[in-house]
Structure 1
Amino acid sequence: MLHVSGPLLTVDVGARTTEETDVDDVLESFIGGRGVATRLAHDRIPFDADPLGPENSLFFSTGPMQTSNMSFTGRMNCTAVSPLTGGLFSSNAGGFMSRNFADAGYAAVEVTGESDELVVVHVTDEGVEFEAVPDLEEATVPEITEYVEETHGLSEEHVACIGPAGENLVRFASVMTTESRAFGRGGLGAVLGSKNVKAVTFEGDSRREAEIPPIQMDVHREAATSDHIMKQQGTTSVTSLANEVSALPTRYFSELQFEGVEGINGDRVGEKKYKRGTCSSCAFACKLPTKDEERGVETEGPEYETVMSFGSNCSVDDVVDVMKSNELCDRYGVDTISCGNAVAAYLAAEDEFGNVDLIHEMVEKIAYREGDGDVLAEGIARFHDELGVDNWTVKGLSFAAHDGRTLNGQGLSYAVANRGADHMFTTLYAWEYPLVDRESALDPTGLDGKAPHIVEQENARALEDCGIICRFSRSFMTPERYEGLFEADYDDLLAVGSRVVELERHFNNQRGFDRADDTLPYDLPDFEAALDDYYAQRDWNADGTVPDDHVNEPQSAD
């Protein structure tokens, strides 16, 4: 089976020490990316670790496909215990850093401990440098990348960093790379902030090449020649469809359709796109560099999730206003979905829906934890009672844009996902809109028979994250192509994905998560029976926990 190669590099930023560890057994079993990081995190982070304490580790990892030239492979994985959800959390970011990470020669890099001063950690194939950077305190993401380029000659493509939000321990702060790409959602930026690490850079000339079968070029060629709407509109191409079928959260989840959708849909975003945007080695080029010269706004995006969180959910019908929110989040280093939803909750409490100036003001206040922003920075699950609004989260993670009240299987997926209300854990919405061929589509209504589909897609998404291969390869990466690329039976590859999901669940179980956390703030038909079916499909206990004998050499909980 194809897998990433190289040692684990552990960087203790408190002790200022490094250590290389042979982890070939883990690489052979878990391929790379999310799988390798999950196994390492499960075995090396104490089950009772404080997410913002020195004992939490943050793992950067890549996969074997990052040594290829195939489209859909310009991505990396980041894993740690989330300060937002309290569970083990993996996030995936695109851009151009993955090849530079691979050049350093490591399969994974673990950042642990806690520095007594603000530092940039420079990881190379010749060693690690710890650079004290007191002058970068509360620097924005563009300011950090500019500093690294001016002082070290490294472009933004070598840098993973945090903005003010990460330093201020905003629970949904992102780790940013290539300036506008985010390891988002789970607050991993706050983990780096808790360690006093402003940035990590990667460079070298020690990439450990893997023999990728020639089939990679077939995928690359089709990605280049495909006439796909995402090349013009990115994920916002689904906006009008979601609105039409009543799956677009609006005014803090109180409605499912937005009357102002024409002002923020894919057509409007496409009109603001001014050049081609892509990730490393990818010919699909679905990114969205956008600008509005009249109002002086330039950003990358917004993607569909941001159109929801800062658009319909805040009752904003001007795409340029959403672009500005997107730009602010990238500048300060916060997740656009969690931040937009938190602001939407604030607008609901203050009866200020549509107040664009207040929205942009609150993004900055969240990043710096000023005034009411300090409250919102804790995340909806922690502040909803104080504001008197409903708790629109699962496991502390606020909802993505494909609404489960209409797309019921996606709703069940939100409930059982180890990360919480995250659409990327299964992407089951694609089968319920549908965005796939009609013969593969699922009836969006009801949960009968949905559990096996959720299990299969969870496993498939985890496999992608081990590879690492982008979600948007769906139309190009068939099971036969996976078998050809990874030199393994597809069922065996899905079994790797299943073990990753199970390890995440087992770790979270040791932290107190069980069936009571697999819940929703709304009712779905036969939900409890569907939960039973899901656990049975995975051969888990009826209380939502993983039997210890499913996990090889489990970490001691003592």
Structure 2
Amino acid sequence: MNHVRGTLLSIDVSERETTTEGVADERASFVGGRGLCTKLAHDRIPFDADPFGPENRIYFSTGPLQQSEMSFTGRMSCTGLSPLTDGLLSTNAGGYLSRNFVGTGHSAVEIVGEADELLVVHVTDEGVEFVEAPELSGATVPEVTGYVNRERDLDAEHVLCIGPAGENLVRFACVMTYESRAFGRGGMGAVLGSKNVKAVTFEGDAAPEVDLPEGVQREVHSAAATSDDLMRRQGTTGGTEMINDNFSLPTRYFEKYHFEDADKIGGNAVEEKKYKKGSCSMCAFACKLPTRDEETGLETEGPEFETVFSFGSNCEVGDIVDVMKSNELCDIYGMDTISCGNAVAAYLAAEDEFGNADLVHETVEKIATREGIGDLLAEGVSRAAADLGVRNYTVKNMEFAAHDGRVLHGQGLSYAVANRGGDHMYSTTLRVEYNGEVDPETLEGKPEIVVRRENHAAFRDSGIVCAFAGGTGHVTEETLERLFECDYADLQDVGARTVELERHFNNKRGMDREADTLPYDLPGIEAALDEYYERRGWNADGTVDDETVREYAVADD
């Protein structure tokens, strides 16, 4: 099976020391990306670690496809102990960083400790340099990128960084790259902030050789370049009106299922503001959304569908320019638009201020700086709901994505069991429910689908291949078999091992079946949980025995 090559670079920012070691067994068993990072994090982060403590570690990795020139491969993975969910969590980002990361010669980079001064860390194929940068305190993401360009002559494609939200330990702060691409969910930006690391850069020419079949790479790239797909024009917003009319677009902090102004913030509205093509590294599909409002001069990248939901329908804001501004503020300050938008929507519900776009923007800025009500909302909806007097619409403290489990029951089950909570990308069961492959309003047969799709997603994020490659039909199971030179069942096994290590780590932090719950009733959920655990080979209480994962080199307690 093809997997990443290269070493693990460990960066201790407390001591400003680095070590390099081989991780051949881990690379072979977990391929790269999310799988490799999960294996390392599971074995090296103490089970009782404080997410904001120096003992937490944050990992970055690519997969073998990032050493190709194939479309749908401009991505990286990031893993650590989440300050939002309090569990092990992986997130990934697109952009242009992955090829520069590979150039350093490492398969994974680990950051541990806590610096005594605000640092910028430069990683090259020749070593690591620590630069104190107190002048960057409070700097926005574009300001950090500008600083690196001036001081190091490196463009945005070499940089990952945090904005003020990460420094202020907002629990859903992002690590940002290329200014507008986010390692979005779970608060990894706050983890980097807790370590007093403002930015990390990557450059080098030491990419290890990975033997990948050229024929399938060319096929995928050619198909991406010639595709006539709605997503190329409208990104993920292309389905907004369909979802609103036929399923559910959560509105007014999940109070309603339909938004009457969906057409004003959906795909056509976004496409009207799109002024050029946007892409990720090496990708000919070019589905990104550089948008501009000529009247105000506002420019941003997006919004994508989840932002249209979180800052649009869920806040009952029906003007695409207002949603664009919310999107841009989150990028500048470094925050997850889903969690931030839901936190703002919860506040609007408490204040009966739905539709007040000015208050939305003001509140986003207060969250990033932890000013006034922003200090409470920066803790996330789960920790703020009681004080606000609103319902806690989260799973495992993770704010929901747009795809409503009250209508898509398989997706509801996925939210419940997902190790990172209410995130739609953990299994994307929503896809087979939206497209009519299965009846959405039943849990019959869904546990098997959730298991299979969770395994697929975990491998996809280890490979690493963009989720939209499969969703648009450009990368199939057969394509993956050819790329990784193995049977698809072997790829499912990589995914299953990754999911199981996440679950085991979270079990050690006290999470079991009681954490696999939803804030609404779903008929048949208890029986579906039983079947899901049985199919995973886990205990009926949602836990994994130590012996079950011992073959994955489980760390001692």
Say yes or no: does 1:430 pair with 2:426. Answer: no
Retained in 2: the 8 A contact 1:173–1:188?
A: yes
**Paired position in structure 2 for 1:356:** 357
**Paired position in structure 2 for 1:462:** 458
Per-residue Cα deviation, 1:359-417 (whole angstroms, up to 9, x for no partner) = 00000000000000000000011010000000000000000001011111001000000
Tell me, in whole angstroms, the C-alpha distance in 2 between the residues paired with 1:408 and 1:515: 18
**Aligned CA-pair RMSD:** 0.6
**Paired position in structure 1 for 2:406:** 405
Tell me by how many angstroms 1:246 deviates: 3.3
Which runs of 5 or more residues in structure 1 are unaligned?
none
Q: SS of the residue aligned with 1:549?
A: helix
Tell me by how many angstroms 1:209 deviates: 2.2
> What is the correspondence of 1:286-297 to structure 2 with a 5 Å cutoff?
286-297=287-298
Q: SS of the residue aligned with 2:106?
A: coil
**Paired position in structure 2 for 1:447:** 443
> What is the correspondence of 1:257-272 to structure 2 with a 5 Å cutoff?
257-272=258-273
**Paired position in structure 2 for 1:480:** 478
Tell me, in whole angstroms, the C-alpha distance in 1 between the residues paired with 2:306 and 2:460: 21
Tell me by how many angstroms 1:481 deviates: 1.2
**Paired position in structure 1 for 2:107:** 107
Tell me, in whole angstroms, the C-alpha distance in 2 between the residues paired with 1:556 and 1:237: 48
Retained in 2: the 8 A contact 1:247–1:404?
A: no
Code of the aligned partner of 1:12: D
Per-residue Cα deviation, 1:489-526 (whole angstroms, up to 9, x for no partner) = 11011100110000000000000110000010111111
Tell me by how many angstroms 1:216 deviates: 1.1
Say yes or no: does 1:247 pair with 2:245. Answer: no
Code of the aligned partner of 1:523: D
Tell me, in whole angstroms, the C-alpha distance in 2 between the residues paired with 1:149 and 1:534: 49
TM-score (norm 2): 0.99
> What is the correspondence of 1:137-176 to structure 2 with a 5 Å cutoff?
137-176=137-176
**4+ residue runs of structure 1 moved beyond 6 angstroms?**
none
> What is the correspondence of 1:199-278 to structure 2 with a 5 Å cutoff?
199-214=199-214, 215-278=216-279
Tell me, in whole angstroms, the C-alpha distance in 2 between the residues paired with 1:269 and 1:76: 26
Q: SS of the residue aligned with 2:73?
A: coil
Q: SS of the residue aligned with 1:206?
A: coil
Tell me by how many angstroms 1:110 deviates: 0.1
TM-score (norm 1): 0.98
**Paired position in structure 2 for 1:320:** 321
> What is the correspondence of 1:32-111 to structure 2 with a 5 Å cutoff?
32-111=32-111
Retained in 2: the 8 A contact 1:59–1:108?
A: yes
Tell me, in whole angstroms, the C-alpha distance in 1 between the residues paired with 2:72 and 2:30: 20
Q: SS of the residue aligned with 1:107?
A: strand
Per-residue Cα deviation, 1:63-82 (whole angstroms, up to 9, x for no partner) = 00000011100000000000
Query: How many pairs align?
Result: 552
Q: SS of the residue aligned with 1:199?
A: strand
Code of the aligned partner of 2:308: V
Tell me, in whole angstroms, the C-alpha distance in 1 between the residues paired with 2:467 and 2:170: 27
**Paired position in structure 2 for 1:280:** 281
**Paired position in structure 1 for 2:300:** 299
Tell me by how many angstroms 1:554 deviates: 1.7
Per-residue Cα deviation, 1:183-215 (whole angstroms, up to 9, x for no partner) = 011000000000000000000110112111021
Tell me, in whole angstroms, the C-alpha distance in 2 between the residues paired with 1:186 and 1:238: 25
Q: SS of the residue aligned with 2:541?
A: coil
**Paired position in structure 2 for 1:23:** 23
**Paired position in structure 1 for 2:496:** 498
Q: SS of the residue aligned with 2:19?
A: strand
**Paired position in structure 2 for 1:522:** 520
**Paired position in structure 1 for 2:544:** 546
**Paired position in structure 2 for 1:556:** 556
Tell me, in whole angstroms, the C-alpha distance in 2 between the residues paired with 1:498 and 1:442: 23
Tell me, in whole angstroms, the C-alpha distance in 2 between the residues paired with 1:303 and 1:209: 35
Per-residue Cα deviation, 1:430-452 (whole angstroms, up to 9, x for no partner) = 11111xxx5xx111011011000
**Paired position in structure 2 for 1:130:** 130
Per-residue Cα deviation, 1:148-179 (whole angstroms, up to 9, x for no partner) = 00110000000000000000000000000000
Q: SS of the residue aligned with 1:491?
A: helix
Tell me, in whole angstroms, the C-alpha distance in 2 between the residues paired with 1:131 and 1:173: 23
**Paired position in structure 2 for 1:535:** 533
**Paired position in structure 2 for 1:370:** 371
Per-residue Cα deviation, 1:277-334 (whole angstroms, up to 9, x for no partner) = 0000001110000010201210000000000000000000000100000000000000
